[in-house]
């Protein structure tokens, strides 16, 4: 798009503000919404440009829909346009999550609220299953991809191997075995000097809050910033891919949250606009609230948002000028195929872990050598939760009902169940 044809700032504000407010339903719905708005309705981007940008964003760590919005803003109005589009995509959901996290910290133990979350969690189990089916159809194109997905599932679920290690291994296998057998086309890209002029100051801004927390002796804030910084580097394939890793760390490793609180966090994130990775903000706020009260909770939430989303802007502004060269590399595309297959296995691990904790009130852990397997207690089975999950899966997968409607129905059924139990 030429400078003369670029949209005005008012149109940019209105368009990306609307996208940010309506970005429910996960990355698939968000990407479809942007395509309809920016390509079909506004005609600000061409079909090929949009699809190339989407392929580029899938190569990057972080939420691809948010990074796609940032790229589109950058393409239309440069760096300021990218900042505006990315912030408008994230901020509505971030504000809602912040409010819900503080309300949850204060009132989650109240009977009706707990009942509401019972219904939401049972519905979210179906949402994760839907995500597994959707991503699997896209990523598992042949037997090699299916094998990588199976190995990733076993590595995460049964062996509790670190998620970053699983991703690295899958990427290496993909680069060696799944690279397209096509010669790399000659492409023109920006100079490395231009890239480093963005990366170096961006890295300084990224790390500055962590250095300040360390210098001020705020060990908890430093740990929060460091953990979510690492998470931002391995969030390939969307938030579902890292939720198992995050759950393991914040529940078992760091003991910031309980398993029930972690599942409630995912349920809340599913009901808000914006990228699902905003679940990290909820986790940080709740952990900070339990560690030191509201002030520390707010500081932890803001720090989490900074270290989670600043890299998203950084990757776009540094590498977008080289988009054609990056998306044309066969080895890189093969590595992406391997990572995408591993993501399917990771989501399958999350789906099973989530289902066990929804359908059973008591889940233990069986260890034998390198194996770490969750084992539910049959007597603690929650059959109404199983029935609600199956009904939600039918509504989402077979009938294609809107996600927000299904979640609302799940919460309503939870409240009704609580009310009937009190009679």
Rounded average pLDDT over 188-193: 63
Q: Can you list the alpha helix ranges (DSSP code H) found in 237-329?
A: 239-247, 259-270, 279-292, 294-319, 323-327
- 125 is written with which tokens? 């189990």
How high is the pLDDT of residue 2? 43
pLDDT band at 5 (very low <50, low <70, confident <90, very high): low
Integer Cα distance of 387 and 358 in angstroms: 11
Across 44-48, 63-67, 214-218, the highest mean pLDDT is recorded for 214-218
The alpha carbon dihedral of 136, 142, 146, 152 has a sign of: negative
pLDDT band at 242 (very low <50, low <70, confident <90, very high): confident
| Residue, of 169 and 26, whose pLDDT is higher | 169
pLDDT in tens, 70-84: 999 999 999 999 999
DSSP codes of every residue in 338-402: HHHHHHHHHHHHHHHHHHHHHHBS-EEEEEETTEEEEEE-GGGB-HHHHHHHHHHHIIIIIS---
Integer Cα distance of 418 and 423 in angstroms: 9
How high is the pLDDT of residue 324? 66
DSSP character at residue 278: G
Integer Cα distance of 357 and 376 in angstroms: 8
Cβ pair 98, 268 in contact under 8 A? no
pLDDT in tens, 301-335: 999 999 999 999 999 999 888 776 776 778 887 88
For the chain, the average pLDDT equals: 85
How high is the pLDDT of residue 267? 79
Q: Which has the minimum average pLDDT: 37-46, 51-60, 250-259?
A: 51-60
Q: Where are the beta strands (DSSP E) in 165-263?
A: none
Rounded average pLDDT over 251-262: 88
Residue 90: closest CA among 239, 250, 262: 239
pLDDT band at 358 (very low <50, low <70, confident <90, very high): confident
Per-residue pLDDT for 1 more than 70?
no
Rounded average pLDDT over 284-298: 95
Alpha carbon separation from 175 to 144, 315, 361 (Å, rounded): 12, 21, 42
- 70 is written with which tokens? 């940032």
């Amino acid at each position: 798009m030429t400078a003369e044809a670029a949209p005005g700032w008012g149109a940019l504000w209105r368009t990306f503000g609307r996208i940010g407010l309506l970005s429910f339903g996960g990355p698939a719905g968000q990407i479809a919404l942007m395509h309809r708005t920016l390509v079909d309705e506004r005609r600000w981007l061409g079909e090929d440009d949009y699809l190339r940008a989407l392929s580029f964003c899938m190569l990057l760590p972080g939420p691809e829909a948010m990074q796609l919005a940032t790229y589109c803003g950058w393409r239309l109005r440069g760096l300021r346009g990218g900042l505006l589009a990315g912030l408008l995509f994230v901020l509505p959901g971030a504000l809602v999550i912040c409010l819900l996290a503080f309300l949850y910290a204060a009132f989650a133990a109240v009977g009706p609220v707990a009942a509401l979350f019972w219904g939401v969690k049972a519905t979210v189990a179906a949402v994760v299953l839907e995500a597994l089916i959707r991503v699997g159809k896209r990523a598992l194109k042949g037997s090699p991809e299916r094998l990588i997905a199976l190995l990733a599932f076993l590595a995460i679920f049964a062996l509790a191997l670190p998620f970053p290690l699983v991703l690295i291994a899958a990427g290496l296998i993909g680069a060696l075995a799944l690279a397209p057998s096509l010669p790399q086309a000659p492409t023109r890209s920006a100079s490395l000097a231009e890239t480093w002029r963005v990366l170096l100051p961006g890295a300084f801004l990224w790390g500055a809050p962590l250095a300040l927390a360390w210098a001020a002796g705020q060990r908890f804030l430093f740990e929060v910033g460091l953990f979510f910084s690492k998470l931002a580097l391995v969030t390939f394939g969307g938030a579902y891919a890292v939720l198992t890793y995050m759950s393991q760390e914040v529940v078992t490793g760091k003991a910031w949250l309980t398993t029930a609180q972690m599942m409630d966090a995912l349920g809340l994130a599913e009901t808000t606009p914006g990228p699902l990775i905003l679940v990290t903000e909820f986790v940080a706020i709740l952990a900070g609230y339990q560690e030191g009260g509201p002030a520390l909770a707010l500081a932890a939430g803001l720090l989490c948002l900074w270290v989670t989303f600043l890299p998203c802007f950084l990757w776009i502004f540094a590498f977008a000028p080289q988009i054609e060269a990056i998306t044309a590399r066969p080895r890189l595309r093969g590595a992406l195929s391997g990572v995408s297959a591993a993501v399917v296995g990771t989501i399958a691990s999350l789906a099973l872990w989530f289902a066990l904790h929804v359908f059973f009130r008591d889940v233990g852990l069986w260890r034998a050598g390198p194996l770490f397997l969750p084992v539910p207690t049959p007597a603690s089975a929650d059959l109404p939760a199983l029935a609600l999950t199956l009904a939600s899966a039918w509504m989402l997968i077979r009938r294609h009902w809107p996600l927000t409607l299904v979640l609302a129905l799940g919460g309503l059924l939870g409240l009704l169940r609580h009310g009937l139990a009190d009679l």
